[in-house]
Amino acid sequence: MTSGGQVARKSLSLQKAWFLTKGRLRSLGIVIGLIIMILFLALKSEAFLKPANLLNILRQSSVVGIMAVGMTFVLIVGGFDLSVGSAMGLAGGLAVGLLPKIGLGPSLLVALLMGIVAGMVNGLLVVKLNVNAFVATLGIMNILRGILLMYSGGKTMFSPDRSFALIGSGYLGPIPIPVVIFTVVTLCSAFILHRTRFGRYIYAVGGNEEASIFSGIDAGFYKAASFAIVGLLAALSGVVLASRLQSVAPMAGSGYELDAIAAAVIGGTSISGGQGSIWQTVAGVFVLGVINNGFNILNVNEYIQLVFKGAIVVAAVALDTYSKRKT
């Protein structure tokens, strides 16, 4: 096997070149775009690069970021989840509503468990009953929202609890706790998705479900598990949001599912599955966060933000599809 070593070295040098191949450039595009945006805003406004502002961007991005990381799993496995915004709201509602009765720890646990169960229901609908993911999660979205409305009686729920408020407003040293949670979630997810067998199977099932089954992979399990993961992370982001606002409005979390999908898609995760990565999604989250923050700093009309965000999502997907068709 002496020649084996030579081949290995040779392929290592090839790996460097591989980093600059077309697909890679496309995924680096998002980072380049982000840097350009940051440079632009730094030139336009002195306030932008101040540490306080940057931390602010990070904290604001954390809530949607946690959910977007979860969404990345579902999108890569070839699914789609519209119910996460409602799951987010309900999780916050459960945490706030149960806290006075059963205490902080148990109420958080119930909220997170609800997220996992909601995700599993989505997964079973999609895998076992073959309901289209879009439709299944649309139904669950309404059901979860309805449960929150019933539970809260349609009124905003408030939480005066100081320790609960720490989750959203506290600091670990100089770092806001939501940012810490987002970072931990990101690192764990990146490890699972990129370094474990579980993660590899998620890519394989999303890339070609039939070939995965032909290779002996239980495709249904990995799809259902992805829905459970996004459910859990949606609930977690709901808890963080509720804690930060110390309240849960009846429509809390509504619209977040679309921001999460937008972030993943801007990052280059394919809606048709099999493609994407955690760090790309995180880049997408920051793009959205920087846009939010930048528009506020520059005092640009808030409504135009939506137009701009929408355009970026469409442009990112169009670019992705176009570059695929060309090769």
CB of 327 to another protein, least distance (A): 8
Smaller CB separation from another protein, 23 or 106 = 23
CB of 158 to another protein, least distance (A): 43
Smaller CB separation from another protein, 14 or 306 = 14
Q: Which two tokens stand for residue 94?
A: 């459960």
* Alpha-carbon gap, residue 211 to 73, rounded angstroms: 19
Smaller CB separation from another protein, 132 or 196 = 196
CB of 325 to another protein, least distance (A): 13
Nearest to 151 by CA among 250, 256, 255, 85: 250
- Determine the residue type at 295: F
Q: Which two tokens stand for residue 157?
A: 């729920």
CB of 4 to another protein, least distance (A): 7
Smaller CB separation from another protein, 79 or 97 = 79
Q: Which two tokens stand for residue 91?
A: 């999780």
Contacts of 287 (CB under 8 A, 6+ apart): 30, 33, 34, 37, 263, 266, 267, 312
Smaller CB separation from another protein, 19 or 303 = 19
Contacts of 55 (CB under 8 A, 6+ apart): 174, 175, 176, 179
CB of 12 to another protein, least distance (A): 9
Label residue 153 left, alpha or beta by phi (over 0 means left) and psi (-120 to 50 means alpha): left
Binding site for another protein (CB under 8 A): 4, 7-8, 11, 14-15, 17-18, 23, 195-198, 200-201, 203-204, 207-208, 210-218, 274-275, 327
